[in-house]
Amino acid sequence: MNRDLDLVVERVIRAPRARVFSAWTTPELFEKWWIPEPYSCRLESFEPHAGGGFVTSMSEDGSAFVPHMDAAFLVVDPGERVVFTNAVDSSLRPASPRPVPVTGEVTFADHTDGTLYRIVARHGSPEALAEHEQLGLQEGWSLVTDQLAALAEGAD
């Protein structure tokens, strides 16, 4: 990790690693936690494999959806790691996303209480990190991690 370029959210989720990973790779589950409440997420496309894309839209009222993210999965190691970026779009074309390009690396590890979940937001410059921090990335990713945990922990 590079403190000048990266933000990290880490927590123990009291659920098996396979369940937490499934919430990252199952469309019906992913939509439930990916965007902070009270907003709703809709998947426009979702191919959770290396080179696959994912496009999300969001809505505040559940009816009018606006674009949220057009990104690509770089790595999907079952049960271990997911890496994605918006620096290329879902068709693997170079992109100039707003507000900033970011690469997210998610790791899943066994923990005595369930799963040690860690997501790192990697930025290309200190300025990009500062802009993302100012826009509330740490808070937003912490909120969606809470939502992911609630979903995984509540599953039977």
Question: Phi and psi for 54 in degrees, rounded to 5?
Answer: -145, 135
Measure the CA–CA gap between 74 and 12, rounded to whole angstroms: 24
For the chain, the C-alpha Rg in angstroms (whole number) is 15
Please choose, from the candidates 45, 18, 23, 22, the residue with its C-alpha nearest in 3D space to the C-alpha of residue 34.
23
pLDDT score recorded for residue 63: 87
Measure the CA–CA gap between 101 and 99, rounded to whole angstroms: 7
pLDDT over 80 at 154, yes or no: yes
Contact in structure between 30 and 23 (CB atoms under 8 Å) = yes
pTM check: above 0.85: yes
Dump pLDDT digits (tens) for 74-112.
Answer: 999 999 999 999 999 999 999 999 889 999 999 999 999
Contact in structure between 71 and 84 (CB atoms under 8 Å) = yes
Measure the CA–CA gap between 25 and 46, rounded to whole angstroms: 9
3: its two tokens: 């403190």
pLDDT over 70 at 155, yes or no: no
pLDDT score recorded for residue 153: 97
Question: Phi and psi for 132 in degrees, rounded to 5?
Answer: -65, -40
At which residue do the structure tokens 């930025």 appear?
123
Dump pLDDT digits (tens) for 26-40.
Answer: 999 999 999 999 999
* Chain-centre distance for alpha carbon 96: 18
